[in-house]
Structure 1
């Protein structure tokens, strides 16, 4: 016990200030919290715990925050709660009772602070708690608010325009729940003369009483001349049909209380726009039931997220529902993504179908020992170098029966072309379950064979669309090669195998000879 106390004392000594030492006052009971809620319109809570070794490192930040709050009028208190001594706080925070953290309270409602631990950002959060809606008092500020770029998808701007003062309180109450949306700004104009001025210079704001919402350089206007649910209108329009999900807009998705589905993409891939186009078509059919979004699947942050959602390979694009629980519901990796299949997948989720465990299909990489693998980093040099024809098979060793079936076929193709020794032909394989593809490669289905001719290196690349058989694939390569060559009579057979073939064929009946000839001697496939 003495040893443990010494360790704790050492840890505390490493901090500038003791844990729970900064703030206006500490509370230890639910009654005290309720009393503060009755007295203060808004205040901050710095949540810590006596068992938390790292929490004392937050004290200097709290000290600077208190100094800044001292200059704010009216003064917003910072109270402290030790979660270890105040178990009642879990009733208010639920599963979000981690420490250390800051939460805000406005009119008795608790709002979590979700932005960076930065003094200016925390102060802005406190300011929004006290006054969620700012008043614009001149035309210049109004025009600036309406014309200032909103950014990519990260900023939301909402302006209430009120000729009738009776609607002001309704608007304020409707947008109050958004006061912790750190990437949103809410303002209003309540001077009748200013409302008229604004309509003169901005005729696109059609109503004397309305709400203007700007996001992603897009503007929407709500008419308040008829009864409207302002809260739901702002909520539904805060995000688009298919936006990139970011730390700045995640709380907007979360607030919509709809299932969230994420497509993970490689933004550098030149086919990303076409993937999103397909994805968006499906999104339109579920707009009121599921929120579709996308994310950069190549980032370290989202690599971990993909794993948590049940996506275990390097295949991009990949899709999964973000359930916010330990349950997973990923779109089957290695399976072709089509509009029909995607919509069936989403509908299955909505219908309550459980995600079926995928049967593990054994990897077939060992069956392609005659084929050279290629990484994304090697792609430019080995595939896109002019003067050399390049063929590559994109396959998956993870749960893909089609890849398992083509593995021995393509292995034989690699072996035969090695034996034929065509100097300007290169053949590779790419296992997308273990490595990402080059930005020029489109993945609609797996497996797929691509041909990149010697003097035509610009995508889209020619791909093979026939049966997974040796002869048609070999003749596909012959047809599209930039450096021409002629395959031998029986290209899939070695000289010894060809000799044995002819000898065996002579012993067959005429009908059998015709059959084996169709299987082995055909040269026209395209």
Structure 2
């Protein structure tokens, strides 16, 4: 009796912790990955991001099981050789496998994002839509694009299929030549309809359909008019190719909905030209700082042009309301607002071994006819602290050739890199070189020893950086004496 009770409890516990996520080993991995379509997570038990993903991954596995899309995970602290062979260098890493061939997972790490992404992967790039499956298909995802085309219009069909092949990870695509389905959609072919679960629910593209018109149409209408932005959907906005306007407001602010609602007419007026979002200022205060907004004065407003690497914060002494934001956005759209550049004060005296470069004089220093080597650093960065003695020694080495070369450091947490530089810094330290007379920046990728830096400079510098300034002046003086030249007294 007692034995059976214990067995019963064990059975209940096993059922309670049953998982639809398959645990893989080096032995079971090859056969699992060889299936038609699978998703595999490479993780470490101690990883915080992996722990956050786990419940969403479990839920997605259960949902996708009905669609016969298996999901698995590999513990890289146990299967280190397997993870190394798959090129895993961070956790969690998710990969989609088709018959053993891996591809990077491009969806979000939330349940609905995983399910949506994998369902798209399971379908052909374009699904055939008929009157029978029309209603079901157009509600199969948050954003669905259906082309309604005459059966004889092969050119439009090819254009749409080619576009779908390119953007299959982003949208769900269907094509219909069924007269009954076209009638149900109430369109005149050729036409493309976007069905979506937000805003107006439907948008139409009619007339001549090209890859350019499809891309413009998709980007303009596939994001909500004014949605919350987070790490899960940031890439969608970043890749849209148009400026992004943020309303920074605490998620728990009782007036949040009222504030956001007041800006909706502005978002509607500029739809397709500027995307609008609201963002939790309590969670993402650091992002507000990166846009040159000073916490904790909320709500606040700013526009970011991600492609141009420029930012336009609204003066935080002003109220974030319809009138103020509307006027500010119009001025931005008309090019009347200059981008904000955060900069430390220019040092009154340059008494450090290396030149202290700040944003306000970045373009002036870049324009000088000197070879320029810059370390972009963060004061809190351990690698930067470790590099400092070597960097100082490098600066001292060329201290007698300051007319030919500048070895500098740039605090990228307190200064913005001007958009004219043409690059952004993603990690610290980042080291860039620009030869005298050139506009091209070269990334330094070597080791961080003094010898390697010197070797790199000697190989890439335009000027004779090993000839000291005073020696050159002395040689010029000797030349003048020999030629009989002299200054008038």
TM-score normalised over the length of structure 2? 0.47
Structure 1 or 2, whichever has the larger Rg, is: 1
